Structure 1
Amino acid sequence: MAWITRFLTAVAFLAVGIIFSPETFGSKSDGTKSPNLSSFIKLAHLLSFSTAWGAALWVTFIGGIIMFKNLPRHQFGNLQSKMFPAYFSMVGVCCAISVAAFGYLHPWKSATMPEKYQLGFLVSAFAFNLSNLFVFTPMTIEMMKQRHKVEREANIGDEIGWSKNQEAAKTNPKLAAMNKKFGMIHGLSSLANIMSFGSLAMHSWFLADCVLCGQNKLGVVLFILIMQ
């Protein structure tokens, strides 16, 4: 994880630099941009955002639920412990690129208030992902490993679902305490993930509005041409 930490730090500093000093990267504070980079930056923003939003949608609402309902619980937990660091790393990188690209395309000094809000949503998504990657996910994985050890001693964990764990916790105070602590940490991780997804969803609304506005403008132009 050391390399991803250094990479995310570098991209984060790059994003901050673009936001507060766009002139350094060819984007003027009055809103003008280098034409040679503008199209590439727009593409980078769109691809990075769509990748982050799509991955968050799948992992949060589809993939994780399917795996939980069909895999033995310990197997599910071990798979998640490998998948989530990669997931949060990828989404974090995509969010950082989106922040940098959006900051370049909409410099803070000349950005409108809605654009500043959107930059805030992207930064929030990035921050929530970092909190999961470096704080909540390592804590959750460590707590999961400790609980797996206790559950193996009680000969449970190979079943699908929580029923045996809940039954064993009634007579095992140690397992009950671990369940409570795991639930708290996992809840914070889930909350951060939902907040990140919500921030990305707000930006998707903004992009959809931009697309619709562009279509309306195109329709007006076509109407004028037809009338002529």
Structure 2
Amino acid sequence: MGWLARLLAGLALLAAGVLFSPQTLRSGSDARISVKLSTYLRLAHLLSFSAAFGTVLWVTFIGGIIMFKNLPRHQFGNLQSKMFPAYFSTVAICCAISVASFGYQHPWKSSSSAERYQLGFLLSSLAFSLTNLFVFTPITIEMMRQRHKVERENNIGDEVGDSKNEEVAKANPRLAAMNRKFGMIHGLSSLSNIMTFGGLAFHSCYLAAKIDL
């Protein structure tokens, strides 16, 4: 099944869920034709937030670790260079939808302090994901490619798990300098990613308090 067919199938299921929701079925004929805007906004917020939270959770704590431990290091890096732009774009788009839908339902002037804090958490997640997308990721990818070139010249990079990089870098000042710079940028990118997750995690606690199970 191609991506377009999957998208259409997902949209069809989503539309069916909205049309046959209890709120719609209990409403009059006018509501069955046009569901209230607030329902769509809550749905958009819930879906976009859950997509962002789940994506960050999987990539950061599960998928990335599994790939790192089971792929040759250069293969892992090349895969990350293709995946990270899509990853941060997806998270940023979902965070933007969450911010817009939440902000529309809770205007700043009339919202409570708790709602303002939540909008701030969502905005921080959006800002950190955009920072990773437009600042850290391009720099990290370029530095990784340069370091891979030097490592190939020294016949390293195909190992899985423990890297031979540090051992070779002791006798290679150029590689050692690359490692320091790469480590700094990669560390900032990782910190930014954790801050994105943190903002979403705080908002998840807020939503949990609102759910009546």
Please classify the TM superposition score into its range, dividing by the shorter chain length: 0.7 to 0.9
Corresponding residue for 1:62? 62
Deviations 1:52-104 (A, max 9, x none): 00000000000000000000000000000000000000000000000000001
State the 1:36 CA deviation: 2.1
Three-state SS of the structure 2 residue aligned to 1:208 is: helix
Distance in 1 separating the partners of 2:141 and 2:163 = 21
The amino acid of 2:169's aligned partner reads A
Structure 2 spans left out of the alignment, 5+ residues: 1-34
Moved over 2 A (4+): none
Corresponding residue for 2:194? 194
Distance in 2 separating the partners of 1:181 and 1:155 = 21
State the 1:105 CA deviation: 1.1
Deviations 1:98-140 (A, max 9, x none): 0000001111111000000000000000000000000000000
Does residue 111 in structure 1 map to residue 111 in structure 2? yes
* Percent of residue pairs identical: 74
Structure 1 spans left out of the alignment, 5+ residues: 1-34, 216-228
Corresponding residue for 2:99? 99
Corresponding residue for 2:178? 178
Paired residues in the alignment total: 180
Corresponding residue for 1:86? 86
What is the TM-score of this pair, normalised by structure 1?
A: 0.77
Three-state SS of the structure 2 residue aligned to 1:135 is: helix
What is the TM-score of this pair, normalised by structure 2?
A: 0.83
Corresponding residue for 1:44? 44
Deviations 1:184-227 (A, max 9, x none): 0000000000000000000000000111xx35xxxxxxxxxxxx
Distance in 1 separating the partners of 2:103 and 2:198 = 20
The amino acid of 2:43's aligned partner reads L
Corresponding residue for 2:158? 158
The amino acid of 1:174's aligned partner reads R
State the 1:45 CA deviation: 0.2
Does residue 135 in structure 1 map to residue 135 in structure 2? yes
Contact kept? 2:136, 2:189, Cα under 8 Å = yes
Distance in 1 separating the partners of 2:119 and 2:105 = 11
Corresponding residue for 1:17? none
State the 1:161 CA deviation: 2.7
Contact kept? 2:125, 2:197, Cα under 8 Å = yes
The amino acid of 1:127's aligned partner reads A
Distance in 1 separating the partners of 2:59 and 2:197 = 10
Distance in 1 separating the partners of 2:109 and 2:166 = 55
Distance in 1 separating the partners of 2:139 and 2:43 = 36
Does residue 122 in structure 1 map to residue 122 in structure 2? yes
Corresponding residue for 1:76? 76
Distance in 2 separating the partners of 1:178 and 1:192 = 21
